[in-house]
Amino acid sequence: MKSWLTAIRKRWPDTKLITQGEFGLLWRAHYKSNNFNYRFVERGSGVGGSDANNEISWFMNKDFRLALLKDWKTNTPEKVIDFTRYDIPTKEPAELTRKWSLLGEINQKQSRAQDKPVPLDSLSKIDKV
């Protein structure tokens, strides 16, 4: 971590480390309408590039978050590894916890049995709309 932060400071000397809360407030101030739509592709992940063959395509906007994983070297079919809808009712947990997050149909953390990657066409008809 120290080497990584040192390299960042060297390349971008004006970099500031902020909390997630500060980032969230800055994001809200900049995107007041919450109208964003972004996509990006991440190739290679894992410690030391252990998953160098993996490609994750992310799609995010105010209504959903979707991540598709494939092996780009062998061109395997994409599988959904993360899908969360933000346009459906949710409720906060009843107990006090710091580990709360909005988990959708499938979550990339794979902390639940249902979080195994699935083919894109296996999502429900309503989720494909």
For every residue of 51-111, DSSP letters joined together read TTTEEEEEEEESSEEEEEEEETTTTPPPEEEEEEESSS-----SS--S------SB-TT--
pLDDT classification of 57: cutoffs 50, 70, 90: very high
Residue 21 pLDDT > 70, yes or no? yes
**89 vs 82, higher pLDDT:** 82
Domain ranges of the chain: 38-89+101-129
Kindly report the pTM of this predicted structure: 0.70
Specify the pLDDT at position 129.
67
Residue % of the chain over a pLDDT of 90:
43
Instruction: Work out the average pLDDT over 26-34.
Output: 87
For domain 38-89+101-129, give the fold.
Answer: Arylsulfatase, C-terminal domain (3.30.1120)
